[in-house]
Copies of this chain bind each other. A is one copy, B any other.
Amino acid sequence: MTPVCPGPHHEEERVLLGHGAGGRLSAELLGSVLLPALGAPDGPLEDAALLPGHPELVVSTDGFVVKPLFFPGGDIGSLAVHGTVNDLAMRGGMPVALTLSLVLEEGLPLSELRTVMESAGKAAGGADVPVVAGDTKVVERGAVDRMFLTTTGIGRRLPFMRPSAAGARPGDAILLSGPIGLHGTAVLSTREGLGFEADIASDTRPLHRLVRALAPLAGHVHALRDPTRGGLAAALNEIARDSRVGTEIDESRLPVPAPVAAACDLLGLDPLQVANEGCFVACTHESAADTALTALRSLPEGCGAVRIGNVVPDHPGRVVMRTLVGARRVVDMPLGEQLPRIC
């Protein structure tokens, strides 16, 4: 007898790693299960939501399951603070308050918990945001891998700053505030002991000051997105999808640090799909692009800001890259997970 592989309808559907990866599978899970169940409206999925009745306030939540807990450039504590501060910033919000919820594994050394919490406290202090509420649960050994954190942030939007993933317009310039690929390759290299961790550190950092530096251009800042899970490829595809525009970028302008390129080459990773935690994409009116670049470069965390392309009216929903050899290739939305547990 030949073994028969049961079709998808014969087997119970199950959660896959890729469902949490920020790519197409994530979008499918959201669209087919989570949003309908929660009665959430269909619409652009933003990094942070408006608070009903308080349009000046934005709110965002994020779970952190990064492995290992400590990596070059940061740890789960600083990452959790920066990640949420940055999601607020992508809606033009300056952080007002954070909450922090912990799930701990029984037996976790208190010294590790203390180090992570001190790092979170330092990151929050560095972003001038208080941690106003928290919760701690402990589960028995084996029920969680060491420590997971969830941060929620509330931010107040800068006047007239109304960036949205749905706000990009044909003719806009596409800017990138710094190099890509550092966070994902740093975490992976540490986890797998690949040796790159001597040359690569995560870019985890708060981005709200860069966004504040764009405030004088407020009305010209149409879309902001930080390319975390799914990397730059996912961020550009989300903007293209939600704004119903095409985006075109130039490979020669992409800031990929040499050690990141080397690591990606060796590991078969696409640097466009690697997670970042310290840069963002901005779509601004063409007339404001140079001023925006100057403003970004005026801060240390934006010193590497570059223009990488344009928003175009053609091929709405698609991202096209002009490659180093002059060819054009479509940059797809990543399907699932290149690197699990990267944030």
Interface, chain A (partner B; CB < 8 A): 12-21, 26, 29-30, 33-34, 37-40, 48-54, 57, 59-65, 67, 96-97, 99-111, 113-114, 117-118, 120-121, 124-125, 130-140, 142-145, 148, 150, 152, 154, 156, 340-341
Distance of A10 from chain B, by nearest CB (Å): 14
Residues in B neighbouring A109, C-beta threshold 8 A: 12-15
- In this complex, what residue of B is CB-closest to A13? B110
Of listed A14, A65, A113, A150, residue having the most chain B CB within 10 A: A150
Known A60-B99, A63-B135, A140-B341; further 18 A-B contacts with Cβ < 8 A: A12-B109, A12-B110, A15-B104, A15-B107, A15-B108, A15-B138, A17-B106, A17-B139, A20-B136, A20-B139, A38-B121, A39-B121, A49-B99, A51-B96, A54-B57, A59-B97, A139-B341, A154-B154
Residues in B neighbouring A33, C-beta threshold 8 A: 110, 113-114, 117
**Contact between chains at A59 and B14 (CB < 8 Å):** no
Distance of A6 from chain B, by nearest CB (Å): 15
Complex: A20 Cα to B62 Cα, angstroms: 21
Residues in B neighbouring A135, C-beta threshold 8 A: 61-63, 150
Complex: A120 Cα to B20 Cα, angstroms: 19
